[in-house]
């Protein structure tokens, strides 16, 4: 007997349709899977067998061959357990072949027959369109994000068999519960003082400028960076779907199966592997931190401690907004368009030039600086020196401005910039004294041609934040001060 069941497998953040063909014949009992299965798929034999037995169906003592088509696509993960089990039940006559018509199946099986979570359900749901998709109950809301109305769910294989035999109805889809995500975003009002750092965040958020903060321990770099995502506008629906899709493919828990509509904040540790940063893996390619940060913030604390290979790997996403990951399993392109925020100490001892307490030798200092390549430094429009907050400001105990107020200015500035496009950046007028200031910096060698371009961009953002149409001397001065940290590290 031959049966054929529709399913899908995950390749990066994209789903690929897979047809599971099951052939059962007389002969020596056995179970073979062909068609580029990975280790998890090969192991499905044991899970499928135990789950079928747990569901009260006898295991056929016959020769079972599973073919996963198309044969050129690698199949990863345990999500093919369920279609394999269903195909087997059809092939041995436990289910009528008409019972699975118009349906696709994705789900991992527990030994007790429970249907378990599979990562990447959004992409899998896409790939099985237009068939109705049957998924584990816990994945139903995630799948329904993109396939509302054509998702069915069951909690166990036994329940599913009963439904497919027409003995019972599909259970109700789990309802959405109240979302409480807003509470988890830290607020800028927690930050006391730190006028320079706060302003840098605002300018970075308004103009999508990559930001490097340089300061001694205790200068609040991490605390500031963690509050940047809260200044960005909520994601547009299409961006929210992209972000949710990537988190789904990475196996991250989604808040109650809802779309992630807040810009993500990712802060990988400098000891994290390059693969976890950029994505990949030996077989099934998974998105990395740079992709999980898409449409949000990637924060690299202690930038100078990241291995050179990790920093080099950031180049493509910073230039193109995507990352291509090549492995034996093929090449996959993930989105990777993030706002980069980095922090570092001014020198190995951390005290740097601001506190006058640096104990580093000139050699160790220059070695520290050389860790950051010029091309990487050039990615930062804003390089801001920070010092420890003034004790008087801390003791005054005045709360800082709230994130919501800053976010409102950011949204207004972004709207101004968007209304100006499309058109050359220079469509924003520059006042004569501001031009003169830039020209003098260029002549004195304080600014390179590339630096000039960056300062103009930042000054334009400052003007947008001020609601002014012409870039003034003051705007250019502030833009110059927001890259003053470059002298510390370059
Ligand atoms: Zn030092």
Rounded to two decimals, what is the model's pTM?
0.85
Residues with CB under 5 A from ligand 1 (ion): 347, 349, 358, 360
Higher pLDDT, 181 or 151: 151
What pLDDT is stored for residue 227 in this prediction?
Answer: 95
Higher pLDDT, 34 or 77: 34
Q: How remote is the CA of residue 40 from the centroid of ligand 1, in Å?
A: 50
pLDDT tens digits, 190-232 = 888 888 999 999 999 999 999 999 998 888 899 999 999 999 9
> 293: pLDDT confidence band, cut at 50, 70 and 90?
very high
Q: How remote is the CA of residue 303 from the centroid of ligand 1, in Å?
A: 16
Higher pLDDT, 365 or 183: 365
Q: How remote is the CA of residue 477 from the centroid of ligand 1, in Å?
A: 29
Higher pLDDT, 309 or 73: 309
Q: What average pLDDT does the segment 428-455 reach?
A: 90
pLDDT tens digits, 159-168 = 999 999 999 9
Residues 6+ apart with CB under 8 A from 336: 278, 290, 291, 293, 294, 316, 317, 321, 322, 323
Q: How remote is the CA of residue 384 from the centroid of ligand 1, in Å?
A: 18
Model confidence at 384: pLDDT above 80: yes
Q: What average pLDDT does the segment 323-344 reach?
A: 86
Model confidence at 307: pLDDT above 60: yes
Of 239-248, 282-291, 450-459, minimum mean pLDDT range: 282-291
Peptide bond before residue 180 is cis, with ω within 30 degrees of 0: no
Q: How remote is the CA of residue 246 from the centroid of ligand 1, in Å?
A: 40
What pLDDT is stored for residue 416 in this prediction?
Answer: 92
Q: What average pLDDT does the segment 359-367 reach?
A: 85
What pLDDT is stored for residue 281 in this prediction?
Answer: 72
Share of the chain above pLDDT 90, in %: 52
Q: How remote is the CA of residue 203 from the centroid of ligand 1, in Å?
A: 29
Question: From start to end of 316-448, where are the E strands?
Answer: 322-327, 330-335, 339-344, 382-385, 429-430
> 180: pLDDT confidence band, cut at 50, 70 and 90?
very low
Model confidence at 283: pLDDT above 60: no
pLDDT tens digits, 67-87 = 999 987 888 878 999 999 999
What pLDDT is stored for residue 155 in this prediction?
Answer: 94
In which element (H, E) is residue 73 found?
A: none
Q: How remote is the CA of residue 310 from the centroid of ligand 1, in Å?
A: 25
Q: How remote is the CA of residue 395 from the centroid of ligand 1, in Å?
A: 28
> 248: pLDDT confidence band, cut at 50, 70 and 90?
confident
Q: Look up residue 429 and give its DSSP letter.
A: E
Q: How remote is the CA of residue 386 from the centroid of ligand 1, in Å?
A: 15
pLDDT tens digits, 49-58 = 999 999 999 9
Q: How remote is the CA of residue 342 from the centroid of ligand 1, in Å?
A: 19
What pLDDT is stored for residue 178 in this prediction?
Answer: 46
Q: How remote is the CA of residue 4 from the centroid of ligand 1, in Å?
A: 67
Of 24-38, 65-79, 421-435, minimum mean pLDDT range: 421-435
What pLDDT is stored for residue 443 in this prediction?
Answer: 93
Distance CA 186, CA 195 (A): 18
Q: Look up residue 181 and give its DSSP letter.
A: G
pLDDT tens digits, 129-146 = 889 999 999 888 888 888
Higher pLDDT, 300 or 149: 300
Q: How remote is the CA of residue 488 from the centroid of ligand 1, in Å?
A: 12
Distance CA 44, CA 38 (A): 10
Q: How remote is the CA of residue 225 from the centroid of ligand 1, in Å?
A: 23
The CA distances from residue 117 to 77, 124, 142, 331, in Å, are 11, 12, 10, 26
Q: How remote is the CA of residue 304 from the centroid of ligand 1, in Å?
A: 14
Q: How remote is the CA of residue 374 from the centroid of ligand 1, in Å?
A: 21
Nearest to 83 by CA among 61, 60, 67: 67
Model confidence at 252: pLDDT above 50: yes
Model confidence at 385: pLDDT above 80: yes
Q: How remote is the CA of residue 176 from the centroid of ligand 1, in Å?
A: 53
Q: How remote is the CA of residue 353 from the centroid of ligand 1, in Å?
A: 8
What pLDDT is stored for residue 284 in this prediction?
Answer: 64
What pLDDT is stored for residue 260 in this prediction?
Answer: 86
Structure tokens at 159: 């329940």
What pLDDT is stored for residue 182 in this prediction?
Answer: 47
Q: How remote is the CA of residue 361 from the centroid of ligand 1, in Å?
A: 8
Model confidence at 382: pLDDT above 90: yes
The DSSP result for 320-357, as a single string, is HSEEEEEETTEEEEEE---EEEEEE-SSTTS-TTTSS-
């Amino acid at each position: 007997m031959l049966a054929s069941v529709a399913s899908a497998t995950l390749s990066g953040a994209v789903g690929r349709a897979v047809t599971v063909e099951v052939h059962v014949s007389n002969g020596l009992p056995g179970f073979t899977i062909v068609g580029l299965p990975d280790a998890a798929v090969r192991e499905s034999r044991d899970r499928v067998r135990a789950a079928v037995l747990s569901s009260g169906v006898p295991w056929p003592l016959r020769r079972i061959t599973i073919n996963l088509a198309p044969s050129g696509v690698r199949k990863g993960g345990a999500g093919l357990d369920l279609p394999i089990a269903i195909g087997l039940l059809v092939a041995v006559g436990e289910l009528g072949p008409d019972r699975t018509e118009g349906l696709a199946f994705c789900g991992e099986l527990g030994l007790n027959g429970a249907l378990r979570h599979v990562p990447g359900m959004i992409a899998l749901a896409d790939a099985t369109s237009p068939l109705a998709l049957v998924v584990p109950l816990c994945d139903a809301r995630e799948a329904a994000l993109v396939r509302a109305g054509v998702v069915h769910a069951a909690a166990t294989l036994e329940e599913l068999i009963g439904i497919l035999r027409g003995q019972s109805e599909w259970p109700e889809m789990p309802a959405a519960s109240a979302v409480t995500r807003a509470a988890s975003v830290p607020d800028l009002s927690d930050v006391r003082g730190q006028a320079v750092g706060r302003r840098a965040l605002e300018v970075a958020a308004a103009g999508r400028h990559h930001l490097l903060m340089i300061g001694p321990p205790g200068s609040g770099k991490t605390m500031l960076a963690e509050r940047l995502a809260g200044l960005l506008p909520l994601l547009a629906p299409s961006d929210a779907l992209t972000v949710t899709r990537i988190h789904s493919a990475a196996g991250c828990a989604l808040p109650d199966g809802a779309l992630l509509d807040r810009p993500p904040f990712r802060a990988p540790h400098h000891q994290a592997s390059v693969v976890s940063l950029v994505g990949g893996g030996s077989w099934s390619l998974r998105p990395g931190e740079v992709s999980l940060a898409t449409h949000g913030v990637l924060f690299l604390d202690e930038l100078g401690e990241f291995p050179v290979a990790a920093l080099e790997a950031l180049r493509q996403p910073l230039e193109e907004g995507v990352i291509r990951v090549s492995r034996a399993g093929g090449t996959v392109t993930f989105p990777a368009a993030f706002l980069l925020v980095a922090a570092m100490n001014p020198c190995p001892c951390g005290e740097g030039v601001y506190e006058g307490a640096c104990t580093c030798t000139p050699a160790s200092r220059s070695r520290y600086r050389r860790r950051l390549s010029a091309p990487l430094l050039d990615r930062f429009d804003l390089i801001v020196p920070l010092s420890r907050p003034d004790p008087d400001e801390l003791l005054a105990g005045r709360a800082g401005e709230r994130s919501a107020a800053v976010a409102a200015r950011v949204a207004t500035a972004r709207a101004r910039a968007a209304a100006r496009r499309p058109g050359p950046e220079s469509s924003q007028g520059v006042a004569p004294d501001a031009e003169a200031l830039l020209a003098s910096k260029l002549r004195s060698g304080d600014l390179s041609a590339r630096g000039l371009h960056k300062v103009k961009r930042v000054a334009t953002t400052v003007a947008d934040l001020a609601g002014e149409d012409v870039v003034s001397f003051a705007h250019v001065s502030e833009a110059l001060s927001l890259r003053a940290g470059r002298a510390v590290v370059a």
